[in-house]
Amino acid sequence: MKNVVLIGFMGTGKTSVGRLLATRLGCAFHDLDKKIEERHGMSIPEMFAQHGEAYFRACEKDAVRAASARTNLVIATGGGTVKDAENVALLRANGILVALAADVDTILQRTQTRGKRPVLDGADAGDRRAAVARLLEERRHLYESADITVDTSGRAPLEVAEHIMQTLRIWRK
């Protein structure tokens, strides 16, 4: 089975939906960010702080290469993974790209915990809203390249996972 690759902005539900989807599909769940943290022995915020974004993106590219070489996975990517065209090509070669989307208010609510979101940390509430809106707009065309798009605003992860299951059945026909 081809991989199901969840892309989308932070806070759209890639990890929570991905776990449920993997269980329902009977395949392994592969969280790229967690794999990077495990391999490098530090959190992503620590990587950003100690080595910078370029270092993290290089680690991310290695993780994408490894995951995309496998099959029968549900892969949850980081929000910025799609900024690299090679990452997208690798993931698409052996996978179906499913973009999870959400409105700005939903994203702000889901990402309110500080310390986990290096690209948003340090901004006050108004700045966070502006930062989310700006990044969403910058990445919109990247997320729109997905095979399937699902809006997760106001929806529970289980509902989203079930919707993706139904869509995959139709899409694969």
State the binding site: 11-16, 33, 57, 79, 117, 139, 155
**Residue positions in the annotated binding site for ATP?**
11-16, 117, 155
**Residue positions in the annotated binding site for substrate?**
33, 57, 79, 139
In the chain, how many H helices and how many E strands? 8, 5
| Alpha carbons 161 and 126: distance in angstroms, whole number | 32
**Residue positions in the annotated binding site for Mg(2+)?**
15
* 2's tokens: 């081809």
Closest to 90 measured CA to CA, from 73, 59, 60, 67: 67
